Chain A
Amino acid sequence: MLPEIGQILLILALLASLLQSVLPLLGAHRKNAALIATARPAALLQLTMVLGAFVVLTLAFVRQDFSLRYVAENSNSLLPMIYRYSAVWGAHEGSLLLWALVLALWTAAVAECSRKLPADVVARVLAVMGMISVGFLAFLLFTSNPFDRLLPAPPEGHDLNPLLQDPGLILHPPILYVGYVGFAVPFAFAIAALLDGRIDVRWLRWTRPWTNVAWGFLTLGIALGSWWAYYELGWGGWWFWDPVENASFMPWLVGAALIHSQAATEKRGVFIGWTLLLAIAAFALSLLGAFLVRSGVLTSVHSFAADPARGMFILAFLAIVIGGSLLLYVLRAPTVGGNSDPSRGFTLNSRESLLLANNLLLSCACAMVLLGTLYPLLADALDLGKISVGPPYFGTLFLLLMTPLVALVPLGPLTRWQREQGMRPLALLAPWLGLALLLGVVAWFMAPQGKLKAAAGIAAAAWVGLGTLNFLWTRLRNSGRINAETLGMLVAHLGIAVFLVGALLVEALNVQHEVALAPGSSVEAGGYRFTLEGVDAINGPNYHSDRGHVRVSRDGRSIALLHPEKRMYASGGMPMTEAGIHPALGGDLYVALGESLGDGAWAVRVQIKPFVRWIWLGAALMALGGFVTAADRRFRRFPEKKS
């Protein structure tokens, strides 16, 4: 009975979103206040319905209703309670429902927080968000219904994919989706402005915190995924240029560009058309990401089962959304951004130019990731054979594009709008540049291996970090005050510095040994001694595990006892690796268990990962920067237009 209620709620949600996308738009067009006023109630109604459906599906998992096909396929009676909740978004149908729920939540948030905006603007924005909801709810109902029955009900279900039975994976999808879907807000504003044919900088100011929050969540979501891959996949890597990682990285890059161009547009009235285009692109790339993951077009560890019907549906949706918004852009953008003001012109040497460079570099990086991700498909389509594009391509191009970006980061905040005098910012930073280069040289001589990468990492991080701190210091000394917007920017830029330390030093200084260890024997790596004390068989709630005990010591002193595991889940499937990690800010000690070699001996992979935590710490700082900026009170003021 309950699942049928869920089904009905989903259908009602679709109807509510249809109302939400049609009535307010009609009202805004005809200047009919009553129709305009339907926007908020429709958005809240839709949220209630989707939330209801989500709760019903969660209940079905908690109560183990295996008569639901989706529940039977993704859980069984041995599944621990916490994973019964996260299993709701463990596969295609449920994660799509989560996506719809997150979208409904963002929509409701816009509806609630937009009371100071003109009613017709809000009506258009909510209508555009409603159209996106229509697409996703129809996709759910027509191709991926999580409430499909499986009759007769099986006595036992399959299992949640063991890879997903992990605390990191409980949070990774929801946070990532909050980021992905959050870009729907600036997108909806861009479309609303284009529909209306004019843009008011005050609305743009209002959308800025939304973009920042969405981008912050996307950053956190990607970082969580990277952290999970690091300890769960057992390879010790933190980024693999996997198609689905790329799919989340593309909107991140464009989102970062959007954050910067929005700031320039809001403050200086420049780049209006470009900002609108980026807002469209960021959300279009989010949709493309969803498409790539769910259509089975590309294969990856993340992909859901391939089903051409789903692929076709979402492709059609993608074509309508992207094609429609780009068409609208071509038709309307020139009029929207047309009121160019000569006083807003700027010279080559100005903050506008630096922001433009930032935008171009980030967009090029995104285009390059897109090309690399789709190239295997393109090669296949053109019959060039099966090709995989790997880290060498991405690594090289990224180095080329990110080096100038990193070089420009500390200069941006120091440079004046419109016109800068000569080399003033560079002159201000010259001592710090010297210090950064000096530190790079020191790193070169201190690094036992990977000298170039270590030196580059330290120099780049010091340049960004010192330059940013210098700006903060000058600003505090001069005025003693700093607003949240600037503070957030500085925190995010410091995050880049911290990230650079982690990413480049772990590349340079990583030590890895793969050895066969019998109980009692040991291996030396990077000054540490790893001794295998033994391997026990233990039983978890729904798996059997071989759990190793590896003692790590240095100079005869014991530092840590690590427990790498190799798990076989009762539901079958591949064995899962759980790495044993001794985390520290200066570097992780990482042990993963490989195959049993007989006679109690095991293949063991031992790694020293210097500064690897800094990667996620840097990402967390970037996200924090986005949130801090969004908290600036200036964005929530909406002064009445002076007449």
Chain B
Amino acid sequence: MSDSPQSPQSTPNRLPPVAIILGVLFFIGLMGLMLYGVSRSDRPDRDTLPSALQDKPAPEFSLPLLHDPHVFVSSQDLRGMPYLLNVWGSWCPSCRDEHPVLTRFAETKRLRVIGYNWKDEPADALRWLEQLGNPYMAVITDQEGRTALDWGIAAAPETFLVDGSGIVRWKYSGAITQQVLDTQLIPALEKVEAAAGQAQTSSPSDPRP
């Protein structure tokens, strides 16, 4: 902020032009930099560290279904095809925000969308789904949040893309918007599908002589 100090002994009638030019350049530069900073400040990926789980196997779990607590779903049951794990709770306002986006995506049936009901009362969760609609193929519940620790879930909503062999390929913290869906999830999913396609074509076409 500080331009060069003016000469203390005797004050000239005008500031030296060099000081003014430097000051103006500094000011413009600072403002430009700030403008740049602000314009990119909503890019969620700008300096997020990749999830610790990125490209690592998803944690093992076995959790009851929300709609039928006697049935447990384990990570093994979901193997074979990619799935999207969406962490939510009826107490979470941003989950409500992302719900329509998620619902539209789930309706394309491109991917299995599994709900992960976190730290919630089953009654509240069921009412929430009844009100807003249920886009999930299945909803598992983690009332105490133990398994969530393995996933490193810090806040809801949070969404994980897990591929057919149980590897976490993409993670997003916060409410998913259409933009996030188009620019991040779909490309990540395409990569997963391409890899799966290759694996499928390469394994049969590997007949050893």
Chain A residues within CB distance 8 Å of chain B: 69, 72-73, 150, 154-156, 158, 254, 270-274, 277-278, 280-281, 284-285, 288, 291, 295-299, 306-308, 311-312, 315, 318-319, 322-323, 326, 330, 333-335, 337-338, 340, 345-346, 352, 356, 359-360, 363, 366-367, 370, 374, 377-378, 380-381, 386, 572-574
Contact between B41 and A295, CB atoms less than 8 A apart: yes
Contact between A352 and B8, CB atoms less than 8 A apart: yes
Residues of B within 8 A of A381 (CB): 33, 36-37
Interface centre among B11, B13, B92 (most CB of A within 10 A): B11
Contact between B34 and A574, CB atoms less than 8 A apart: no
Contact between B47 and A572, CB atoms less than 8 A apart: no
Of residues 27 to 68 in B, which have CB atoms within 8 Å of A's CB atoms? 27, 30-31, 33-42, 46-47
Contact between A367 and B2, CB atoms less than 8 A apart: yes
Q: Is B14 an interface residue (CB 8 A)?
A: yes
Residues of A within 8 A of B93 (CB): 69, 72-73, 150, 154, 158
Contact between A330 and B2, CB atoms less than 8 A apart: no
Q: Is B207 an interface residue (CB 8 A)?
A: no
Residues of A within 8 A of B145 (CB): 572
Residues of A within 8 A of B13 (CB): 334-335, 338
Contact between A312 and B5, CB atoms less than 8 A apart: no
Contact between A308 and B47, CB atoms less than 8 A apart: no
CB within 8 Å for A297 and B91 given contacts A281-B2, A572-B119: no
Residues of A within 8 A of B18 (CB): none
Contact between B37 and A298, CB atoms less than 8 A apart: yes
Q: Is B197 an interface residue (CB 8 A)?
A: no
Contact between A315 and B35, CB atoms less than 8 A apart: yes
Closest to B174 in A: A305
Please pick, from A69, A319, A322, A334, the residue contacting B12 in the complex, using a CB distance under 8 A. A334
Distance between A133 CB and nearest chain B CB, rounded to angstroms = 22
Contact between A295 and B11, CB atoms less than 8 A apart: no
CB within 8 Å for A334 and B14 given contacts A319-B31, A377-B37: yes
Contact between A295 and B37, CB atoms less than 8 A apart: yes
Q: Is B20 an interface residue (CB 8 A)?
A: yes
Residues of B within 8 A of A330 (CB): 15, 20, 23
Residues of A within 8 A of B124 (CB): 155
Contact between B1 and A284, CB atoms less than 8 A apart: yes
Q: Is B156 an interface residue (CB 8 A)?
A: yes
Residues of A within 8 A of B150 (CB): none
Contact between A254 and B2, CB atoms less than 8 A apart: yes
**B84-99 near A? 1/0 per residue, CB < 8 Å:** 0000000111000000
In the assembly, what is the distance between CA of A377 and CA of B14, in Å? 35
Interface centre among B31, B37, B42, B148 (most CB of A within 10 A): B37
Residues of A within 8 A of B92 (CB): 158
13 contacts between A and B (CB under 8 A): A69-B93, A73-B93, A277-B2, A277-B5, A284-B1, A285-B1, A315-B38, A323-B31, A356-B5, A359-B5, A386-B47, A572-B145, A573-B154
Residues of A within 8 A of B37 (CB): 295, 297-298, 311, 377, 381
Contact between A306 and B36, CB atoms less than 8 A apart: no
Contact between A338 and B11, CB atoms less than 8 A apart: yes
**B78-110 near A? 1/0 per residue, CB < 8 Å:** 000000000000011100000000000000000
Please pick, from A72, A295, A363, A377, the residue contacting B2 in the complex, using a CB distance under 8 A. A363
Contact between A281 and B15, CB atoms less than 8 A apart: no
Q: Is B155 an interface residue (CB 8 A)?
A: yes
Interface residues in B, total, Cβ within 8 A:
42
Contact between A323 and B27, CB atoms less than 8 A apart: yes
Contact between A360 and B5, CB atoms less than 8 A apart: yes
Closest to B156 in A: A572
Contact between B15 and A333, CB atoms less than 8 A apart: yes
Contact between A366 and B27, CB atoms less than 8 A apart: no
In the assembly, what is the distance between CA of A172 and CA of B154, in Å? 26
Contact between A308 and B39, CB atoms less than 8 A apart: yes
Please pick, from A280, A296, A345, the residue contacting B41 in the complex, using a CB distance under 8 A. A296
Please pick, from B27, B30, B41, the residue contacting A308 in the complex, using a CB distance under 8 A. B41
Q: Is B10 an interface residue (CB 8 A)?
A: yes
Contact between A377 and B31, CB atoms less than 8 A apart: no
Residues of A within 8 A of B5 (CB): 271, 274, 277, 356, 359-360, 363
Interface centre among B6, B9, B38, B154 (most CB of A within 10 A): B38
Residues of A within 8 A of B118 (CB): 572
CB within 8 Å for A307 and B11 given contacts A298-B37, A377-B33, A574-B154: no
Residues of B within 8 A of A380 (CB): 40
Residues of A within 8 A of B33 (CB): 374, 377-378, 381
Residues of A within 8 A of B15 (CB): 330, 333-334
Residues of B within 8 A of A69 (CB): 93
CB within 8 Å for A297 and B23 given contacts A254-B1, A274-B5, A334-B15: no
CB within 8 Å for A572 and B1 given contacts A295-B38, A334-B15: no
Residues of A within 8 A of B40 (CB): 380
In the assembly, what is the distance between CA of A573 and CA of B156, in Å? 9
Closest to A575 in B: B149
Contact between A306 and B41, CB atoms less than 8 A apart: yes
Distance between B161 CB and nearest chain A CB, rounded to angstroms = 22
Contact between B11 and A334, CB atoms less than 8 A apart: yes
A-B pairs with lowest CB-CB distance, top 10: A297-B37, A311-B38, A296-B41, A281-B1, A306-B41, A363-B2, A337-B11, A308-B42, A340-B10, A381-B36
Residues of B within 8 A of A285 (CB): 1
Residues of B within 8 A of A299 (CB): 46-47
Closest to A344 in B: B9
Interface centre among B33, B145, B148, B153 (most CB of A within 10 A): B33
Distance between B24 CB and nearest chain A CB, rounded to angstroms = 8
Residues of A within 8 A of B8 (CB): 270-271, 274, 352, 356
In the assembly, what is the distance between CA of A346 and CA of B33, in Å? 40
In the assembly, what is the distance between CA of A334 and CA of B14, in Å? 5
Residues of B within 8 A of A311 (CB): 37-38, 41
CB within 8 Å for A297 and B154 given contacts A360-B5, A374-B33, A381-B33: no
Closest to A381 in B: B36
Closest to B148 in A: A572
Distance between B189 CB and nearest chain A CB, rounded to angstroms = 26
In the assembly, what is the distance between CA of A288 and CA of B119, in Å? 40
In the assembly, what is the distance between CA of A381 and CA of B33, in Å? 7
Interface centre among B23, B35, B91 (most CB of A within 10 A): B91
CB within 8 Å for A308 and B1 given contacts A73-B93, A156-B91: no
